[in-house]
Amino acid sequence: MAATVQTKIKESAADKTFLVTIYILLSIVALVVIYPLIFIVSSSISSPAAVTSGRVWLWPVDISFNGYKALFNTPEILIGYGNSIFYTVAGTLISVALTIMIAYPLSRKTFFGRNTLMMIITFTMIFSGGLIPTYMVVKQLHLIDTRWALLIPNAIWVWQVIIARSFFQSSIPGELLEASEIDGCSDMRFIWSVVLPLSKPIIAVLVLMYAVGQWNAYFDALIYLKSADLFPLQLILRSIIIQNNGSGAMDVAKMVERQQLTELLKYSLIVVATLPVLVIYPFVQRHFVQGMLVGSVKG
C-alpha cells in the first residue's frame, strides 16, 4: 500500500498577522454589541439608587427586582402582551401572505405590465400620502379603534416586496412553471406545492422583519386606537414611563424615589419589550442569513 503523503500549507507571517487582526477586530465588535445588552439586564435587576448613581457598569449592584415588580403589578401589562402577540402573529401572517401574492407575479416575465406596476409600487417609497390623508382613509373604512387598524394599513412594505421578488427571480426558474403546466398543475397548486417549499429562506426573512416591525410598532396604535383594552404592549409601556415622569405635589424624598424608579423602569421596559424577539431570532437566524444573501453567491 502506497504511503499517503500529507502536506501542510504553511502560513506566512503576513497571513498570521492578518488573521490575528481580524480576530481582534471581531472581538471588539462582539464586545461593542454584547456590552449594552449586559448593561441593560444588569441595570434592570439592580437597586434604583445604584442605577441613578451610576454605580452599575457591568454586573448588577444591590440586586433588586423592583422594576419588574412595578411593571407586572400593573394589570395593563398582561393585556398589552396579549394584544401585541395577537398583532404580531396576525399581522405577520397577513403581511407575508400578501407580500408573496404580489412579489411572485412580479417576478414572472410573462406577467403583463409587471415593470409598470413595480415602478408604481417603488414610487411609494419616495412619496407617500402623509398622515392626515392616511387617517382619513382609515376613518372612511371604519377601522378607527379596531384591531384591523393595526393590521391592514401597513400590511405590505415595499422593501420586503423587492426582496421577495428578487428571490423568486433568482431561485424559481421558469422551467419549473412550464413543466408543471404540462402536467396540468394550476397556478395556485404550483405556488403551494413548488414555490413555497423552495422559498423557506425568504419566508423566514419576511416573517422576522414583519414580526419585529409589528412587535415594536406603537405610532399607529397611538393614532388609530382609543380603547385601552386594544393597546399593544409598546403603547402601554410608553404610558407607564409618562405617568412615572409626571410631577405633582410631593415631598423631596418621594420625588427622588419616583425618579429612581422611573430610571429603573426604563431598563426593565427594554428587557420586557425585546425579550420575545431575542427568543425567536435564534430559530430563524440561519434562514434569515441565507435569505438576505440570496443572489450574492452562486454555486
pTM score over 0.95: no
**pLDDT tens for residues 208-217?**
888 888 888 8
Q: Give the orientation angle of helix 252-292 with respect to helix 75-107, to 10 degrees.
A: 20
Q: Per-residue pLDDT tens for 194-232?
A: 888 888 888 888 888 888 888 888 888 888 988 888 888
Confidence tier at 92 by pLDDT (50, 70, 90): very high
Q: Are 243 and 185 members of one domain?
A: yes
pLDDT, position 86: 92
Q: Give the C-alpha separation, 173 to 179, whole Å.
A: 11
Residue 58 lies in a domain: no
Residues 44 and 163 in one domain: no
CA distance 253 to 261: 12
Distant-in-sequence, close-in-space partners of 161: CB < 8 Å, separation ≥ 6: 99, 102, 103, 106, 121
Q: Taking a C-beta distance cutoff of 8 angstroms, is the pair 207, 235 a contact?
A: no
Residues 46 and 73 in one domain: no
**Are 107 and 173 part of one and the same domain?**
yes
- Tell me, yes or no, whether 60 lies in a domain: no
Residues 108 and 145 in one domain: yes
DSSP 129-153: --HHHHHHHHHHTT-TTSGGGGTST
Q: Is 2 inside any structural domain?
A: no
48 plus 80 within the same structural domain? no
Do the Cβ atoms of 99 and 164 come closer than 8 Å?
yes
- Residue 8 lies inside a defined structural domain of this protein: no
**Is residue 89 predicted with pLDDT exceeding 70?**
yes
Domain assignment present for residue 5? The answer is: no
- Residue 45 CA to residue 268 CA, distance in Å, equals 8
Is 41 in the same domain as 188?
Answer: no
Shared domain for 156 and 84, answered yes or no, is: yes
Are residues 209 and 236 part of one domain? yes
pLDDT of residue 139 exceeding 70: yes
**Are residues 23 and 253 in contact, defined by beta-carbon separation less than 8 angstroms?**
no
Res. 293 pLDDT band, cuts 50 70 90? low
| Single-letter residue type at 140 | Q
What's the length of the chain?
299
Q: Note whether 22 and 143 are same-domain residues.
A: no
Please report the beta strands in the chain, taking only residues with DSSP state E, as ranges in sequence order.
none
Q: Are residues 28 and 139 in the same domain?
A: no
134 lies in the same domain as 281: yes
- Indicate whether 154 belongs to any domain: yes
Q: What is the mean pLDDT of residues 251-262?
A: 61
Instruction: Report the CATH number at residue 100.
Output: 1.10.3720.10
Within-domain flag for 1 = no
Please report, rounded to a whole number, the percentage of residues in the chain having pLDDT higher than 90.
8
Amino acid at 229: D
In a domain, 103, yes or no: yes
- What is the total count of domains within the chain? 2
Q: Tell me which of 164 and 299 has the higher pLDDT.
A: 164
The residues near 86 (Cβ < 8 Å, ≥ 6 apart) are 147
Domain that holds residue 36: 15-53
End-to-end CA gap in the chain? 36
